[in-house]
Amino acid sequence: MADLPNMHDAEPIPESARQEIDRLLQSGDLFRYTAPEDAPVSLLEAEFAEMMGVKYALAVSSCSAALFLSLKSMGLPRGARVLIPAFTFAAVPSSIVHADCVPVLCEVDHSYRINLADFEARLDDVDAVMISHMRGHTSDMDRILELADARGLPVIEDAAHSLGTLWNGRKIGTLGRVGCFSFQSYKMINGGEGGILLTDDADLIARAVILSGAYEHNWKKHPVLHDAFSKWQNQLPLYNLRMSNLSAVVIRPQLAELDRRVRDGRRNHDHVAARIDQSPWITVPPSLPQEERAPDSLQFSLCDMTDGDVDAFVDTAKAMGVSIQVFGRSKDNARAFWNWGFLGPAPDLPKTRAMLSRACDCRLPARLTVAECDAVADVILSAIDHVMRPPVQALA
């Protein structure tokens, strides 16, 4: 059995970043709008837009900032209602509150995917939809886009943790009117902090660029449709959510690593998933047929176990060296909707609550070897055995 790997550290930043970092340190040129052209942030935007096959990209300080700017750039009025899945990270409803809008939560099934009946039932009462592809699990985007389009509702994709995922061969984050990604350290590309917003909508990007902090005529440094700006010059508040050049030079050389990370992450995930899925106490929700996942972590659900069994499993796995969180049972978990006290009393969402109380979350970085993944699977299976199969009494 291989030793247990370090499951928390990120990959080293590619060596090629050093030269650019040195150049920036020498010149002190850290602000994206100082250089007349080709600032690292601008180059990142151009490369990311090209890689994703969309017209416009705006790099910002976080994915949360990108989500907030998406809402603000659509001109949603104060109090507009935004539908989100109840299984997401607290930053998502937070971005909606920050934009003076009201999050409306819909049920998520044991599959970790949006319950479409509940989604549809709430659609007539909302002004926009924000689909969070939580932990890279994709809900039925064909149906979601069809239902939203039929009502003229804009769809924002929170693809923070889904970079590299495909849906019917199309890149996740490019299906809705806007897509937002994260470069926070636990995501596929690690800039420490950072985010990027993608859209093909010239007017939306014009507003987002100004709102993000392109004051005066700094918007002229963006390769976007400049006609759109005459309408918005001096008409929008500046939130100053820009990205620094230093972040961009750390992020840019990682774009070339993405395909490998996606491939290795999927290999690791599918290997462990296939092994632990053999246990009668575990199910790993399958991907949908339209979906090609890009996982850098592992989620699985415990079945037919009591709360006590679930907690004992988590403790046992931890003692054996693998840290697992059950979203709905670890204290103050930011992915359990009832902990979002800033929204007021928690809504009644029994399906999502039941799912979260049995859904396990375990990091599984792309850099692990298959042997290391086997060591992780061994621990998960041993911990389950330990908890669910009490030792047989020795015969006297």
Ligand X SMILES: *Cc1c(COP(=O)(O)O)cnc(C)c1O
Q: In the complex, what is the shortest distance from the CB of residue 246 to ligand X, in angstroms, rounded to a whole number?
A: 16
Torsion sign (Cα): 190, 194, 199, 202: negative
Nearer to ligand X, 183 or 219 (CB): 183
| Closer by beta carbon to ligand X, 42 or else 247 | 247
User: Which CB atom, from 138 or from 316, has the smaller least distance to ligand X?
Assistant: 138
Q: Which of 76, 91, 262, 314 binds ligand X (CB under 6 A)?
A: 91
302 close to 388: Cβ distance less than 8 angstroms: no
Give the one residue of 52, 101, 148, 160 binding ligand X; rule: CB under 6 A.
Answer: 160
Is residue 42 packed enough to be buried (19+ CB in 10 Å), middle (13-18) or exposed (0-12)?
Answer: buried
Q: Of 59-67, 231-239, 338-346, 371-379, which part binds ligand X (CB under 6 A)?
A: 59-67
Pairing type for strands 128-132 and 166-167 reads: unpaired
Smallest gap, in angstroms, from Cβ of residue 135 to ligand X? 7
Residue 173: left (phi > 0), alpha (psi -120 to 50), or beta? Answer: left
| Residue 280 Cβ vs ligand X, minimum distance, rounded to whole Å | 31
* DSSP 8-state secondary structure symbol assigned to residue 304: S
The CB-of-20 to ligand X minimum distance in angstroms stands at 22
Residue 88 makes contact with ligand X by CB under 6 A: yes
Judged by CB, which is closer to ligand X: 134, or 156? Answer: 134
85 binds ligand X (CB under 6 A): no
Q: How far apart are CA 220 and CA 103, in angstroms?
A: 34
Q: What is the 3-state secondary structure (H, E, C) of 62-115?
A: CHHHHHHHHHHHCCCCCCCEEEEECCCCCHHHHHHHHCCCEEEEECECCCCCEC
- By CB under 6 A, is residue 71 in contact with ligand X? no
Instruction: Tell whether residue 188 is a contact of ligand X (CB under 6 A).
Output: no
Measure the CA–CA gap between 325 and 363, rounded to whole angstroms.
10
Residues 109-148 that bind ligand X (CB under 6 A): 132, 134
Determine which residue in the list 48, 89, 112, 340 makes contact with ligand X, applying CB under 6 A. 89
Task: Based on the shown chain and the rule CB under 6 A, indicate whether residue 195 belongs to the binding site for ligand X.
Answer: yes
Beta carbon of residue 185, minimum distance to ligand X (angstroms, whole number): 9
For residue 65, how many other CB atoms are within 10 A of its CB?
29
Region near ligand X per CB under 6 A, out of 61-69, 100-108, 348-356, 374-382 = 61-69
**244 scored as a contact of ligand X (CB under 6 A):** no
**Smallest separation, CB 90 to ligand X (Å):** 9
Q: What is the total count of residues that contact ligand X (CB under 6 A)?
A: 15
3-state secondary structure of 129: strand
Contact between 64 and ligand X per CB under 6 A: yes
Nearest approach, Cβ of 309 to ligand X (angstroms)? 28
CB nearer to ligand X: pick between 159 and 375: 159
* Residues ≥6 apart with Cβ < 8 Å to 111: 137, 285, 286
Smallest gap from residue 131 Cβ to ligand X (A): 10
Q: Which of 70, 94, 138, 184 binds ligand X (CB under 6 A)?
A: 184
> What is the C-alpha separation between 69 and 205, in angstroms, rounded?
10
d(CA 126, CA 258): 36
Is residue 212 a contact point for ligand X (CB under 6 A)?
no
Q: Could you give the CA distance from residue 243 to residue 32 in angstroms, rounded to a whole number?
A: 7
At 16, list the tokens. Answer: 């090629």
**206 binds ligand X per the rule CB under 6 A:** no
CB of 139 or CB of 184, closer to ligand X: 184
The single residue listed with the structure tokens 């296939």 is: 274
Q: Which of 42, 182, 190, 245 binds ligand X (CB under 6 A)?
A: 182
| Least distance from ligand X to the Cβ atom of residue 308, Å | 30
Angle at 81 between CA 86 and CA 341, to 5 degrees: 50
Q: Is 135 left (phi over 0), alpha (psi -120 to 50) or beta?
A: left
The residues that touch ligand X, with contacts defined as CB under 6 A, are: 62-64, 88-89, 91-92, 132, 134, 158, 160-161, 182, 184, 195
